């Protein structure tokens, strides 16, 4: 087998970079979907709990056993979503490093750094989880 020509090497590297870019886009979309799914469930828990507690005609009360089950569910949901988001962000970081290496070999210079803050998704879910727990625990 012969060594690839410089043009073939360039094409292979460019193709690899394009595939890595698709993987990065997939991970970003997946993280958003996980966040959206968990956030929607937490908002539904908050809304349902507040609706049940504030309607004086239904006479519904949360027993401490039910509150415990709801709190455990909220904690489990938050932990699972947080781990899932963290795992996908780590894979995205690894993919970004590979893209940066390809860019360097291709001679692509970045004006804007490719890094971004990582505090948004999990912090927002933690705040929603706290609000959901407060909605379950506090009597109106």
pLDDT tens profile 64-100: 999 999 999 999 999 999 999 999 999 999 999 999 9
How far apart, in whole angstroms, are the C-alpha atoms of residue 125 and residue 131?
10
Domain ranges of the chain: 6-137
Q: Nearest to residue 43, comparing CAs of 126, 117, 129? A: 129
Distances (CA, A) of 14 to 92, 93, 96, 120: 19, 19, 15, 32
Instruction: Read off the pTM.
Output: 0.83
Region class of 139: left (phi > 0), else alpha (psi between -120 and 50), else beta: beta
- Asked whether residue 6 carries a pLDDT value surpassing 90, the answer given is no
């Amino acid at each position: 087998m012969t060594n690839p020509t410089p043009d073939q090497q360039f094409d292979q590297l460019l193709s690899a970079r394009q595939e890595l870019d698709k993987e990065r886009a997939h991970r970003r979309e997946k993280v958003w979907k996980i966040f959206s799914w968990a956030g929607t469930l937490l908002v539904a828990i908050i809304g349902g709990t507040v609706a049940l507690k504030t309607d004086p005609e239904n006479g519904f009360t949360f027993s401490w056993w039910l509150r415990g089950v709801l709190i455990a569910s909220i904690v489990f949901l938050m932990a699972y979503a947080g781990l899932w988001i963290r795992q996908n962000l780590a894979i995205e970081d690894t993919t970004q490093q590979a893209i940066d290496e390809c860019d360097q070999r291709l001679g692509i210079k970045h004006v804007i750094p490719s890094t971004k803050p990582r505090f948004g998704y999990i912090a927002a879910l933690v705040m929603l989880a706290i609000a959901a727990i407060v909605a379950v625990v506090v009597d109106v």
